[in-house]
Each structure stands twice: as C-alpha cells, then as structure tokens.
Structure 1
Amino acid sequence: MTRPYPPHHAEVAQNRFGLRVAARLSAGADAMPHDLQERLRAAREQALARRKQPAVETRLRTAPSILSNGRAAALGLGDDVLGFWGRLTSLALVCALVVGLVAVNVVQDDDRTMEVADLDATLLTDDLPPEAYSDPGFVQYLKTSANRSSASGR
C-alpha cells in the first residue's frame, strides 16, 4: 500500500521540475540569435511576475489524546481549544438540555398523576354493583369514558 506524500513534498517536486526545465531551456538559448534571447528573457520575467503566490500553509498538528473504548475511538481536544466563551456556551447548552429534560419529566409525571386521579374519582363517585369492579374490561371502559368526558369538557 502506498502512503500519500506530505503536502510540501509535491511542491518540492514541482520546484525541482521547474528548475530542470529552466536549465534545459537556458542551455539551448546560447545558440539562438540575440533578439530571440531577449524575447525569451522578457517572457521569463513576465512568467515569474505572474507566478502563483505560495498558498497559505496549513498547520497540521496531532491530536493530544485518543480515547478508545473497544472498537470506538474519539479524539481529545487538548489544552484550551474552546477558550472561555466556548466553554461558557457549552455549559449553557448543557444546562438548557438538563432543564428541558426535567421539564418533560415533570409534565409526564403530572399527566400520569392526573390520569390516575381521574380514574380513582370515577371509581369512587359511581354507583356500580360490586361485580363491575371484578370485570377485566371495566378499567378500560373507565379510561375511555374519562377521555371522552375530558375531551367534551374542553
């Protein structure tokens, strides 16, 4: 398996190729007439002026830590990558998540409590024969009738 070359290796190879081509052209230029040599010199100067400026070099760095658990791995952030504002934002997001989860839990618990209270109130206020309490479909009947009465009361 071939390993890719580092980014600067390609640039070095291009520079070497350019120098070899320039040396080859310069060697053959001595046998040319003077006016052609001057035109070639001017063309070279224009090419050098238009030459691409070197690209901004990206700075690569290794991850300060690799955390692994079985077949899963994660890269550690290292020393103070987030900074103060990044940490503050992360803390605010975590707090918002916790508040949201607590609110959902409270609402669901309240809904369950109200459902059980409605069922108990229906059982305690109705005049029913004792056989009705032993019927397995009775609880389901009470739930559906409580849902119908709460939907019509809204």
Structure 2
Amino acid sequence: MKHPHTPTEQDVDRWGQHFSRQLTLAAADLPHDISERLRVARQLAVAQRKPLVQSRLANNTQINSNGTLTAPADEGLNLWSILASALPLLALVIGLMAIQWIQQDHITSEIAATDSALLTDELPPDAYTDAGFAHFLKQSLGHPTSHD
C-alpha cells in the first residue's frame, strides 16, 4: 500500500534553496537592469512573506511540568464561531420541519380525496375497507372517469 508523501517544512525549504541556487546561477547572464529589478522584487517578497507557522505554534503552546503540551486557554469561541457552528443544526431543524409539513399536507390531501370519493360515489362504505378496492380507488383517482 502506497502512502502519499506530504512535504514537510524542511522539504519545502530544501526545494526553495535548490531553486534559489539555480536562479542565482542563471542570473549571472542577465543584463544589469533586469537583475536590479529582480533584486528589488526579491526584497519586496521577503518583506511581505508570512510569518513561520512553527513560530506561531510555539507561541500558542505551553509545556507543563509533566512534559505535556497544552493549547492556550482561549479557544477562540466568539459570537461568529458559535453562530457558524449552530448554522448546520438550524438548517437541519428547518429541513426536518419542511419535510414534516410536506408529508402532513400529502396525507391530508389523500384523506380529503378518499372522503370526497366516499361522499360523491354510490358505493357502500364497506367497499372502501377492501384492500383491492382501495388500490383500485387510488389508481382511478389518478385517472378520473366521467360519471353519468
């Protein structure tokens, strides 16, 4: 079974150093104005780079006396994170209520159709308790026939 190799920070640094050496070798053949523009662009990129993730993680963790690491006491639970975690639950409840309402409406319309068939037809009520006739009635309600 093959495990995908995820590059570590050291791998990324190694690749960056390799590419930097290759670019430095190729930069010797460039004209002076292009090399100056590249130098300025490199300085801007270094000035705007993001801080290292490792240093941020090191600042946020504490080493206890027993050697375990703990996260900071502030879990970052603010109003927006609470609302964001409650939003899926709210969507689920609204969806379940909508399904219940639709099913209730469907059941009500079936009962109304049966009642109207009972009231407008000349059959005895005992005919509606027969399972075969109930099936026939459901099919005939889908394709109404004209009565004389």
TM-score, normalized by the shorter chain, greater than 0.5 = no
TM-score, normalization: structure 2? 0.44
Greater RCO between the two (CA within 8 Å, min separation 6)? 1
Select the structure of larger CA radius of gyration.
Answer: 1
